[in-house]
Amino acid sequence: MTRYRPLIAEVVLLYTVCLFLSGCAGPLKQQARTVRIAPISEKYALTKRPEGEAYVLLAEASTGQEQHRYAVSDSLTRAIKEYGTGSGVLPSVSLGGKSDKEGTSVGNLEVLSFSDFANKLNEKGISQRHAEMRDFYQNNGMFKKSDLKFFGEEIGADYFILPCLLDVRRWGTSRFSLLGLKVMNTQVICVVVSMEIWDLRTGYKIFGATSDMTIASETIMESPISMEEAFQQAWLGITDQLLK
């Protein structure tokens, strides 16, 4: 029995060190993101800084991912706030890196959440019309111009921003455990999202983009990555492309 005492002492020491490190060392994270802008002809595409009021719609999602729809929409609103002034109003900058040569003021775009939009629909009593509009989109991949014009006039908005969740995957592995306690964990989450901006005045789709986001986190103790964090980081990639 005596010969095992040094080994037991080493195990206890290693276990204590791991617990100490877990309290003072944060997770090691790596991120990879790819953003692709949808091709839209110059006749319809966004060519200048949008201004006015925009509502974020409830996200579209494929079968089996519907539970994430609210998180996807809310994370887009938060990403815009984080990129902008923190008030939900995007900064006054030009699109595509173009400078404002005339020196004229570029207007702000106020972005409101899906919760704000739902409240406005109930206030106006037009929820059924909204449901019909979304049914048409799900069947045809587009909004009707008459629907967009109707909502623009009814709620006083200028744009709809439609987020879509295309794919989401999460997995984790444990590479080392001690006395049944997992002390080395790798958490990975991959999300693919897309965003469309529709002009309620013209009925045109004026912007579209897709973002693939992968986040890997290496932690001493088990600590899952927040799904909302992955969504928000994916949106920041698109927002940066939209406003750079």
Q: How far apart are CA 222 and CA 15, in angstroms?
A: 15
| pLDDT at res. 230 | 87
Q: What is d(CA 241, CA 232) in angstroms, rounded to the nearest whole number?
A: 14
How much of the chain is in helix, strand and coil states, percent to nearest 5? Answer: 40, 30, 30
- For the CA atoms of 201, 145, 127, 50, the dihedral, rounded to the nearest 10 degrees, stands at -30
* Radius of gyration over every alpha carbon of the chain, rounded to an integer in angstroms: 23
Cα 55 from Cα 90, distance rounded (Å): 13
Tokens of 132: 């019909």
What pLDDT shows up at residue 62? 81
Q: Give the HSE-up count for residue 47: Cα atoms under 13 Å, Cβ half-sphere.
A: 7
And the tokens for 50? 């949008």
Q: List Cβ neighbours of 191 (8 Å cut-off, separation of 6 or more).
A: 165, 167, 168, 169, 212, 213, 227, 230, 231, 234
Q: Strand 181-199 and strand 205-219: pairing?
A: antiparallel
pLDDT in tens, the chain (244 residues): 445 455 444 544 454 445 445 444 455 667 778 899 999 998 998 877 778 899 999 999 986 788 999 999 999 998 888 776 544 454 433 343 333 333 222 347 889 999 999 999 999 999 999 999 999 999 999 999 999 999 999 999 999 999 999 998 876 666 555 555 555 667 788 999 999 999 999 999 999 999 998 888 766 555 566 788 889 889 988 988 776 6
Confidence (pLDDT) at 28: 62
Per-residue pLDDT, 25 = 47
Q: Which residues contact 121 (CB under 8 A, 6 or more apart)?
A: 127, 130, 155
Predicted confidence at residue 76, as pLDDT, reads 94
State how far the Cα of 206 lies from the Cα of 204, in Å rounded to an integer.
6
